[in-house]
Amino acid sequence: MTLDIGLAEQDTLEQYLQHLLSGDRIAARRLIESLLSQGTTPCKLLSGLIWQTMELLRALYREDRITRGQFNMATLINRAITDQLGGMLARKPDNGRTVLVVCGDDEPEELGGQICADLFEAEGYRTRFLGGGVPNDEILKLIGELRPNLLIFFGTLPSGMPAVRQLIDYLRDVNSCPEMQIMCCGGIYKRAEGLAEEIGADLSAPDAATALVVARENPTRRATADQQTVGKSRRIRKAAALRRQPPQPLSPDHRPADSEAA
């Protein structure tokens, strides 16, 4: 996996990665503390070094270049440091908007979802982070209670895509929260270009830092019917079935009076 970063950042990334893979929690924390003392902000560390390391670990494990034990140790240390950096973020005033973040049901996806939630919270959003493995009925219930301005699906696992598509279809069909935008971010949505648009998302972003910019610059953007190709044939069949239904007779209360009929 090639990362588009400078030589100094590449050297730092390699040092940090080696500390994580060897399970050296103290060395990993000292490196982060050194970067903070040199003026690197917690926000930049989360959206840069921590995020890039998370993606690199996922790629290395997928390619069988590290063991499950190394992957687990590295991910857990990275998450512990994420918790610490999240508490250091400078926070902007409340912007009056609420965001609900849902993620894939695995450790790297939960870490990415947490970083996403931390960055949105620092931006002034009222943030709720659900994590992974939450069934659609519970997500819908929370949407009804919170009425969020933005629903983010981060790093959905391939096995979770059918549930995400069903949820988006349901939200579109019933229009229960018409002011809410839907964003797909990171993971599979980054790897499969155009997937977010195809399943009907209003917004998409490759990572959490970009997601902030996209949300800020597109507060009213909505998906179009033409862009949503997944499930399109089902919606066409449903519309055709409705057109084939015979008109329902008027009830007595709705029939025109004799004088009006005359």
pLDDT tens-place string over residues 189-217: 999 989 999 999 999 999 999 999 999 99
Same domain membership, residue 82 and residue 202: no
Judge whether 152 lies within some domain: yes
Question: 125: helix, coil or strand?
Answer: coil
Overall domain count for the chain: 2
Judge whether 129 lies within some domain: yes
pLDDT at 130 over 90: yes
Select from 36, 63, 86 the last residue of a domain: 86
Same domain membership, residue 77 and residue 110: no
Lowest-confidence region among 44-48, 104-108, 125-129: 104-108
Same domain membership, residue 168 and residue 119: yes
Q: Which residue has the higher pLDDT, 246 or 22?
A: 22
pTM strictly above 0.85: no
- Give the per-residue pLDDT at 107: 86
Same domain membership, residue 25 and residue 80: yes
Domain boundaries, position 176: 98-238
> In terms of DSSP H, where are the helices of 22-92?
25-37, 42-45, 51-62, 68-86
From the list 150, 211, 151, the residue with the least C-alpha distance to 186 is: 211
Select from 58, 86, 114 the last residue of a domain: 86
Strands (E) located in the chain: 98-103, 126-131, 150-154, 181-185, 203-205
Same domain membership, residue 167 and residue 47: no
Same domain membership, residue 113 and residue 181: yes
pLDDT tens-place string over residues 40-49: 999 999 999 9
Same domain membership, residue 114 and residue 234: yes
Judge whether 119 lies within some domain: yes
Average pLDDT over residues 129-137: 95
Judge whether 135 lies within some domain: yes
pLDDT at 28 over 70: yes
The CA distance from 247 to 249, in Å, is 6
Same domain membership, residue 113 and residue 80: no
Same domain membership, residue 102 and residue 76: no
Same domain membership, residue 184 and residue 124: yes
Judge whether 254 lies within some domain: no
Judge whether 228 lies within some domain: yes
Query: What's the chain's average pLDDT?
Result: 87
Same domain membership, residue 106 and residue 75: no
The CA distance from 151 to 202, in Å, is 10
Judge whether 120 lies within some domain: yes
Q: 222: domain CATH number? A: 3.40.50.280
Judge whether 261 lies within some domain: no
- Give the per-residue pLDDT at 8: 67
- Give the per-residue pLDDT at 9: 86
Q: 63: domain CATH number? A: 1.10.1240.10
Same domain membership, residue 52 and residue 159: no
DSSP labels, 15-32: HHHHHHHTT-HHHHHHHH
The CA R_g of the chain, rounded to the nearest whole Å, is 23
Select from 86, 121, 149 the last residue of a domain: 86
